Amino acid sequence: MADDKSKTKQDRKPAAGEEPYDVAAFAKKYGLPPSEAVTIIKRYGPSRKKLDAHMASRNA
């Protein structure tokens, strides 16, 4: 079966800065185990701004 050249869109687009974090993406970005990432997201919510601010203050 030949490739369909009319389908050129990416399967996944990068997450926008305003979209909430996915647990796996957050854990990967900060090198955390998934269980710790889940705990942090539950505590601070999925907002990228809040989570990035928390991690910046945590690492300072």
pLDDT (tens digit, 9 = 90+) per residue, 9-59? 655 555 566 688 899 999 999 999 999 999 999 999 999 999 999 999 987
For 30: left if phi > 0, alpha if psi spans -120 to 50, otherwise beta; the answer is alpha
What span, in angstroms and rounded, lies between the C-alpha atoms of 48 and 55? 10
Whole-model pTM? Answer: 0.67
- Residue 39: predicted pLDDT: 96
Do 40 and 32 touch, CB atoms closer than 8 A?
A: yes
CA distance 14 to 48: 14
